[in-house]
Structure 1
Amino acid sequence: MTPDDDELTFGVEEEFFLVDAAGELVPRGPEVVDGTTERDGELQRELISSQVETATPVCRTSAALLDGLTSLRDDLARGAAARGLRLLASGTPVLPGSGHEITRKPRYHRMAEQFGAIARSSATCGCHVHVGVADRETAVRVSNHTRAWLPVLLAITANSPIDGGTVTGYRSWRHVLWSRWPSAGPPPMFVSLEHYENSVAAMLRSGAMMDRAMLYWDVRLSDKQPTLEFRIGDVAASAEEATLAAVLIRGLVRLALRDVAADRAPVSTPDEVLRANLWRAARDGLGGSCLHPESGELVPIWTVVDELVANLREPLGASGDLDFALDVLSRLRSTGGGADRQLAAYRRRERLTDVVDEQCV
């Protein structure tokens, strides 16, 4: 993949909860996945049996990605409805209750045994964006160039302010919960692919990961696909918002590829500062502030969003994504992000079921 390739491929994986008519989690994910026929893409089981996952085909345009995401959501929603269930697009479950059973799969049960309550209480749903970067050495360098922008991506995608009936005080409580995994969090800066692989190997030896699939960094090299995978986002409230996250990430990757080709140095944000900034973005979402990725000053999130789009204007224009990104961001500026809309739905009558109705596909 060359830096100037305007057909940089991408795809998205989305996780969802299954809930009943009352909005409570239902541990029937494997049944719904096995009984649903998708038109294009994949449906997959998840660690928690009340969850399901979709994966789009490899896409070249935002229009194709949006169509794929919409189709997969529709397919799963129909499969759920046929069983009296609904598909909930929220990073954490809205209502209290059970439904946190581990899916019957040997690997998942080994995870539960090794990681205890971290695994058994990991009912969170994320959005994972894959961007095609075949050369793994290059992918490591791209990760270095994109990591400073992870907080603003988290703020844009934040969609989990309520967890099990509790208003958490965070816009992305999923991020806070997911950070408990010992292999989660922002990726370090790596000097080479060898450095990356040595770090992964050491984490495996420590037992912090059971296998390479448990490398949960916010950006990681995929072992199954020739891609760089961004795992920073909550599952989006809408297919349009998931597509927005994907086109911004692809734009960042394209910009990073050009910087790598020109041998420009990345912004080197210390790990502890990046973690602090991710905490701030998880708490505040789009309505708050975060540290500017370059200056380190505390500024409104929207200031950083606007600067991100300005930086990406040329690559987004080259891929035909600029107007789409500006349109969806304009709507988010008016309505708030997914977390803001969840809270608004709750505050109207202080009924959690209203939030479930707001977020069901």
Structure 2
Amino acid sequence: MSQAKEDFTIGVEEEYQIIDPATRELRSRQQQILPIAKKTLGDLVQPELQLSQIETGTPVCRNLSEVRAELNRLRRELIAAAAKDGNQIAAAATHPFSEWEQQQIAPKERYQALLQDYQQLAREAITFGCHVHVGISDPEMAICVVNRARVWLAPLLALSASSPFSLGTDTGYASYRTQIWGRMPISGPPLIFSSQAEYQTVVEALVATGAVEEATKIYWDARLSERYPTVEFRVTDVCMTVDEAVMVAGLVRGLARTCYEQALADKPFPAARHEVIRAAHWRAARYGLDTELIDVEEKRAIPAGELIEKFLTFVRPALEDYGDWDEVSALVQQTMQQGNGATRQREVYQRNGSLEEVVDFIVAETGKGLA
């Protein structure tokens, strides 16, 4: 593989549930836990939209070993901080049964503005995602990466899906979070842009027309970050385990690097219709890894395992170049064998019919293997 001009650093943001250990309900204790967590984590821990959620973000990482170490540290310290306030931390993209009516929007001005703009959509947006940033400083190349990566976002979603339950019901979806969040006005799969200038023109028009208040509220599944010189991949559910989060981070960096190299070489890529991309995302959210997914390039449905193998083949040279192939491919195979987070939650529920035990399982998986 040719030597890219970018560093392709990695940053991972994870949104977590705050859980009452007695009732297993979401608990609005963000403001109490944040000061405790900040004593050890500083600005790496932040508030989120709902008072029953809290977010961490890794420092800039140069490799997957650093990503794993930081995710372990962040989860460990956040779990300890929550415990001091009598709470637990859970990593799943929806809560199995807590009701939105019982939640409160955080008082931060940004979140109150979201509530003012989006009203019921904001009140019902009790979702938890994982966002992976990949360092690409050249905005023109960043656009090329987004254009090329968009056809591979659905398999990432299928691998990460962890939100089958909502409001006490099996929704039938592997990632119900995708359906909830997809109601926001500017969300979902990105379009193709001919240049960074065209991208910026669209962003400016969305802000000028009042469709969004400012550019950070454009929630495409892959976008240029407004805060960092990165491409931000926002398509995935938050992963229950650190292993799965490391898998997603490795795949995302491998995808970004592969797309960058192919853009440098001016290789052709599938300029898939937006409708087909949206259909692929819906199917990944609906079924996860359980049945066929849409091969956007070939415009047909194929078994999920076949599409995941095709994805791995696409990113393999980049993963091998980083020395990540053995770890990432093994983690993907593990996920294919044991099931994604949604499948594993359903297995717990099928054994005992208790959504409280599903929450206990999520809490255990969130802290599993933390050094």
Question: In the TM superposition, what is the alpha-carbon distance from 1:206 to its structure 2 partner?
Answer: 2.7
Does 1:353 find its partner at 2:356? Answer: yes
Q: Which residue of 2 aligns with 1:105?
A: 108
The 5 A counterparts of 1:1-361 are 4=4, 7-21=7-21, 22-36=23-37, 37-39=39-41, 42-97=44-99, 98-360=101-363, 361=366
Question: In the TM superposition, what is the alpha-carbon distance from 1:4 to its structure 2 partner?
Answer: 2.7
Do 2:276 and 2:296's aligned partners in 1 also have CA atoms closer than 8 Å?
no
SS at the partner of 1:75? Answer: helix
Question: In the TM superposition, what is the alpha-carbon distance from 1:170 to its structure 2 partner?
Answer: 0.1
Moved more, 218-227 or 106-115: 106-115
State how far apart, in whole Å, the 2-side matches of 1:62 and 1:34 are. 29
Do 2:7 and 2:135's aligned partners in 1 also have CA atoms closer than 8 Å?
no
Instruction: Tell me the alpha carbon deviations over residues 32-68 of structure 1, each in whole angstroms, 9 at most, x when there is no partner.
Output: 1222133587000001110000000111111110110
Question: In the TM superposition, what is the alpha-carbon distance from 1:240 to its structure 2 partner?
Answer: 1.0
Q: Which amino acid aligns with 1:305?
A: I
TM-score, structure 1 normalization: 0.97
Q: How many residue pairs align between the two structures?
A: 360
State how far apart, in whole Å, the 2-side matches of 1:172 and 1:79 are. 28
Identity among equivalent pairs (%)? 36
Judged with a 3 Å threshold, the aligned counterparts in structure 2 of structure 1 residues 40 and 318 are, in CA distance, closer, same or farther, namely farther
SS at the partner of 2:288? Answer: helix
Q: Segments of 4+ in structure 1 off by > 6 A? A: none
RMSD of aligned C-alpha atoms?
1.4
Runs of at least 5 residues in structure 2 that lack an aligned partner in the other structure: 367-371
Question: In the TM superposition, what is the alpha-carbon distance from 1:326 to its structure 2 partner?
Answer: 1.8
Instruction: Tell me the alpha carbon deviations over residues 130-174 of structure 1, each in whole angstroms, 9 at most, x when there is no partner.
Output: 000001111011100100001111101100000121110000000
State how far apart, in whole Å, the 1-side matches of 2:294 and 2:336 are. 19
State how far apart, in whole Å, the 2-side matches of 1:257 and 1:39 are. 33
SS at the partner of 2:150? Answer: helix
State how far apart, in whole Å, the 1-side matches of 2:266 and 2:119 are. 44
SS at the partner of 2:258? Answer: helix
State how far apart, in whole Å, the 2-side matches of 1:266 and 1:143 are. 12
Question: In the TM superposition, what is the alpha-carbon distance from 1:208 to its structure 2 partner?
Answer: 2.1
SS at the partner of 1:171? Answer: coil
TM-score, structure 2 normalization: 0.94
State how far apart, in whole Å, the 1-side matches of 2:311 and 2:113 are. 41
Do 1:40 and 1:68's aligned partners in 2 also have CA atoms closer than 8 Å?
no
Moved more, 144-153 or 104-113: 104-113
Instruction: Tell me the alpha carbon deviations over residues 209-266 of structure 1, each in whole angstroms, 9 at most, x when there is no partner.
Output: 1111101000010111110000000000111101101111111111111111111232
Runs of at least 5 residues in structure 1 that lack an aligned partner in the other structure: none
Moved more, 153-162 or 308-317: 308-317
Question: In the TM superposition, what is the alpha-carbon distance from 1:7 to its structure 2 partner?
Answer: 4.8
State how far apart, in whole Å, the 1-side matches of 2:203 and 2:7 are. 30
Question: In the TM superposition, what is the alpha-carbon distance from 1:183 to its structure 2 partner?
Answer: 1.0
Question: In the TM superposition, what is the alpha-carbon distance from 1:95 to its structure 2 partner?
Answer: 2.0
Moved more, 309-318 or 243-252: 309-318
Q: Which amino acid aligns with 1:321?
A: D
Q: Which residue of 1 aligns with 2:369?
A: none
